[in-house]
């Protein structure tokens, strides 16, 4: 008899979360017992170097509700989420982080909203304890810029913690881009969406894996992946600099025709040349960023490689249109 498909799937990316994993699994057990249907939890180990993989694999062997997937290296948070979504079998799939800043109990409210007919239900933070002023301010500025430059639905204070209906999930799986901004992809596709407010607690244990460099890269992926505004900015900046140069040339010509004294010197020449060179390099860099993404995309490499999978009735089906996913072992 073929295994019964779960109604709910939880997708949780892990990277060096040994300090918080026992408490996470304990709270997940409590949530699973309160659900009104069969559920599975897919733990995606994104190249952890501590005992995270050992603990998660042991749970997958001992508890039929849990699945463990180990990627062959650290592919990044967004790719780890994608890997889990590729393997999820539920009609409703809940994505959440492992640090317990996304409370597992909120999943019950997401499910209740899904029962009302919404296809994407996102958890929206109404408070963010223990987060610095700098992080809160930069996040607010980022969402404002994202809304101004892109057509995607990007509500404030919303991360990857959300529920996705199977219909929306299949649409997501058909999207082949390599440089991923998962929450933006769900915002782009539309469907009926709703918010569930929650209070975000401080990290229970361990350290955050999302430093400033990773956040900047994520913001860059979001803007470049969903907007051509940087290209248009480079174009208009080039037009503005060229116009300024023409005006300066006309001014210098007028001075020469009127016999005005012009102080010779290298300083002004060097400044102008340096400025124009900097603008040229910036515009070339913007274009290069887009060309680089095209280069990555046309190579058609898999998004991730699975080194090990535990708890699946059969090896996970990892094929994905165009980008695919390959497996070394199951």
pLDDT in tens, 34-60: 998 899 999 999 988 899 989 999 999
Tally Cβ neighbours within 10 Å of residue 242: 12
Closest of 37, 102, 32 to residue 67, by C-alpha: 32
In a domain, 2, yes or no: no
Residue 278 and residue 192 share a domain: no
pLDDT at residue number 11:
95
Residue 235 and residue 215 share a domain: no
Q: In this structure, are residues 308 and 329 in contact, taking their beta carbons and an 8 Å threshold? A: yes
pLDDT at residue number 215:
67
305-310 and 66-71 beta bridge pairing: antiparallel
Count of the separate structural domains present in the chain:
2
Q: What DSSP state is assigned to residue 130? A: T
Buried b / exposed e over 131-157, threshold 16 CB at 10 Å, is beeeeeeebeebbebbeebbebbbeeb
pLDDT at residue number 319:
40
pTM: 0.70
CATH classification at residue 322: 3.90.550.10
In a domain, 262, yes or no: yes
Buried b / exposed e over 186-214, threshold 16 CB at 10 Å, is bbbbeeebbbbebebeebeebeebeeeee
The residue ranges of the chain whose pLDDT is under 70 are 1-3, 128-136, 138-154, 202-239, 241-246, 248-253, 255-257, 259-279, 281-283, 285-286, 288-300, 315-330
Domain ranges, residue 237: 229-298
Give the separation between CA 273 and CA 276, rounded to whole angstroms. Answer: 5
pLDDT at residue number 199:
81
Q: In this structure, are residues 221 and 292 in contact, taking their beta carbons and an 8 Å threshold? A: no
SS (H, E, C) 154-165: CCCCEEEEEEEE
In a domain, 1, yes or no: no
169: left (phi over 0), alpha (psi -120 to 50) or beta: alpha
Residue 138 and residue 273 share a domain: no
Name the strands in the sheet holding 8-14, side by side, starting at the edge strand that comes first in the sequence. Answer: 193-200, 120-128, 158-165, 92-95, 8-14, 39-45, 66-71, 305-310, 326-327
In a domain, 94, yes or no: yes
Residue 323 and residue 180 share a domain: yes
What residues form DSSP beta bridges with 68?
43, 310
Residue 320 and residue 251 share a domain: no
Give the separation between CA 21 and CA 99, rounded to whole angstroms. Answer: 8
In a domain, 12, yes or no: yes
In a domain, 214, yes or no: yes
Angle at 160 between CA 69 and CA 171, to 5 degrees: 75
């Amino acid at each position: 008899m073929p295994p019964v498909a779960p109604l709910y799937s939880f997708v949780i990316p892990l990277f060096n979360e040994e300090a918080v994993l026992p408490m996470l699994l304990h709270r997940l057990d409590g949530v699973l017992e309160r659900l009104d249907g069969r559920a599975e939890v897919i733990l995606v180990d994104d190249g952890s170097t501590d005992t995270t993989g050992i603990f998660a694999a042991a749970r997958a062997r001992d508890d039929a509700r849990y699945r463990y997937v180990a990627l062959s290296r650290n592919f990044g948070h967004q790719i780890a989420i994608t890997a889990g979504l590729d393997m999820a079998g539920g009609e409703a799939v809940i994505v959440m982080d492992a640090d317990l800043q996304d409370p597992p109990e909120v999943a019950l409210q997401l499910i209740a909203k899904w029962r009302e007919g919404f296809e994407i239900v996102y958890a929206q933070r109404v408070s963010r304890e223990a987060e610095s002023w700098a992080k809160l301010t930069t996040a607010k500025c980022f969402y404002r810029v994202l809304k101004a430059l892109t057509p995607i639905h990007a509500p404030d204070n919303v991360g990857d913690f959300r529920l996705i209906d199977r219909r929306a999930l299949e649409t997501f799986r058909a999207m082949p881009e390599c440089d991923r901004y998962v929450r933006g992809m769900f915002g782009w596709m539309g469907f009926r969406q709703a918010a569930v407010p929650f209070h975000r607690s401080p990290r229970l244990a361990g350290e955050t894996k999302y430093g400033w460099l990773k956040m900047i890269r994520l913001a860059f992926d979001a803007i470049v992946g969903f907007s051509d505004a940087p290209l248009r900015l480079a174009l208009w900046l080039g037009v503005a600099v060229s116009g300024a140069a023409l005006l300066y040339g006309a001014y210098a010509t007028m001075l020469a025709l009127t016999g005005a004294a012009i102080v010779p010197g290298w300083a002004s020449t060097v400044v102008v040349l340096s400025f124009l060179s900097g603008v040229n390099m910036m515009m070339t860099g913007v274009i290069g960023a887009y060309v680089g993404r095209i280069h990555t995309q046309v190579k058609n490499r898999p998004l991730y490689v699975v080194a090990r999978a535990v708890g699946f009735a059969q090896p996970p089906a990892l094929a994905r249109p165009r980008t695919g996913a390959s497996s070394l072992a199951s």
